[in-house]
Amino acid sequence: MPLPVVAIIGRPNVGKSAIVNRLAKVQEAIVYDQPGVTRDRTYKPAFWSDRDFMIVDTGGLVFDDETEFLPLIREQAMMALSEACAAIFVVDGQEGLTEADRVLSDWLHRQHVPVVLAVNKCESLTQGYSQVSEFYELGWDTHAVSGIHGNGLAEALDDVLSHFPEKDEEVEEEEIRVAIIGRPNVGKSSLLNAIAGENRSIVSPISGTTRDAIDLKVERNGIKYRLVDTAGIRKKKYVQYGPEFFGINRAFKAIDRADVVLLVIDAVEGVTDQDQKLAGRILEEGRACIVVMNKWDAIEEKDTYTMLEHMKQVKARLHFTEWADVVFTSAVSGQRVEKIFDMIAPAAEQHRRRVSTSVINEILEDAVSWHTPPTMKGGKQGRIYYGTQVSSRPPSIALFVNSPDRFGDTYRRYIERKIRESLGFQGTPIRIFWRGKK
């Protein structure tokens, strides 16, 4: 199913770009060249709540002396509207209702597309109400918004989303891609055999991957898992490698293809530099992760504190285990191997989780009210206007601030900690972008 399209319509300078930049996941637009069209329409992927969509910016709609659109631009707008399931009509609340807005509005009323009116540049709410009321006569669902500060956009978008077609529920039924990663001899093949057991079925290579990147499908409790590049795990058995070789590129590729990475570590040897290197890559790629401390059976003389002590070492050597679960297994005896699955599914769920903008902003408000951003040299105070999740896998949150360099590392870590404390995201890394005003 193609993604729903939302068209942004309005005169020049009302703040369309400011609004588009807030909603879009990326700053670069996708330009589709279409023969016969002089001005290209630009599309930007965006999402709100649980819906992905495309924003098409029509450029500023202008009028010639006969208060008629320039034909080409009108054609552009018509084409954008014809594929849109809703339009956001942007007007300038500070300038007030203009004749040009009225003409544009009349034209939109003839287009059979649901329209949400965004009265932009309403930064102050009290001011906002009077700014907005004069636009009611246009006859649209009307919202006071600020493209620059972000307020009001949540409500406007909820309105826009109500016009979307029902979502295709089937896409939800997805398999979880799992990579088993680790240095040689930590027990990856043994673990794979313990997991896949007898009932493994080989799936054909996915297009775009090499023939020997064989994936295995396994199912547990009705959830489908795809173990990626299992051939890479087994194959090395038949090849002689020098002690330095550890197939790191292959490991990196498998990480790249996975949602969740099982980082297997030899519990007897503890966390080595190479394990740290793999962990670093998992973090960089933004994959969910479970740390599997294998060969637990080979640790002699365990008492009640042994696991805690090992856990301490793991936490000290792999800082990302603030969020990653750690499990102590034995691939040979099968001890706790099934428990890994109890951890994969929730980690994958957190990895693809989406949090609503209103929840994020409640957390931010709370965090800021406990600790206001410190004042930097020169008396400049950092201000957080608004936050929104811009993508998932891993969850990525953009914070719109007056100026990112007014936020030091300590404060940034504080905000990240607050977000984690409130939202959990157990099992997955998260990303936070600090974006300034353009």
Positions in the binding site for ligand GDP (CB under 6 A): 10, 12-18, 60, 120-121, 123, 146-148, 182, 184-190, 233, 294-295, 297-298, 330-332
Query: Among residues 299 and 311, whose Cβ is nearest to ligand GDP?
Result: 299
Query: Which backbone phi and psi does 262 adopt, to 5 degrees?
Result: -95, 110
Query: Among residues 128 and 394, whose Cβ is nearest to ligand GDP?
Result: 128
Query: Which backbone phi and psi does 122 adopt, to 5 degrees?
Result: -100, 75
Q: CA gyration radius for the chain?
A: 27
Residue 271 is assigned to a ligand binding site: no
- List the one residue out of 312, 333, 332, 334 whose CA is nearest residue 321: 312
Question: Which residues share a beta bridge with 391?
Answer: 396
Q: How far is the CB of 279 from ligand GDP (least distance, A)?
A: 16
Question: Which residues share a beta bridge with 178?
Answer: 227, 260
Sheet holding 115-120, edge to edge: 30-31, 42-48, 51-57, 5-10, 86-92, 115-120, 141-144
Q: How far is the CB of 392 from ligand GDP (least distance, A)?
A: 27
Q: How far is the CB of 152 from ligand GDP (least distance, A)?
A: 9
Residue 231 is assigned to a ligand binding site: yes
Q: How far apart are CA 295 and CA 115, in angstroms?
A: 62
Residue 334 is assigned to a ligand binding site: no
Residue 114 is assigned to a ligand binding site: no
Q: How far is the CB of 275 from ligand GDP (least distance, A)?
A: 12
Query: Among residues 104 and 430, whose Cβ is nearest to ligand GDP?
Result: 104
Residue 297 is assigned to a ligand binding site: yes
Query: Among residues 179 and 415, whose Cβ is nearest to ligand GDP?
Result: 179
Q: Which two tokens stand for residue 262?
A: 């099982």
Residue 123 is assigned to a ligand binding site: yes
Query: Among residues 27 and 375, whose Cβ is nearest to ligand GDP?
Result: 27
Residue 58 is assigned to a ligand binding site: yes
Q: Could you give the C-alpha distances from 315 to 49, 139, 226, 311, in angstroms and in order? A: 34, 59, 28, 6
End-to-end CA distance of the chain: 34
Q: How far apart are CA 172 and CA 387, in angstroms?
A: 26
Q: How far is the CB of 109 from ligand GDP (least distance, A)?
A: 21
Task: Enumerate the known binding-site residues for GTP.
Answer: 10-17, 57-61, 120-123, 182-189, 229-233, 294-297
Task: Enumerate the known binding-site residues.
Answer: 10-17, 57-61, 120-123, 182-189, 229-233, 294-297
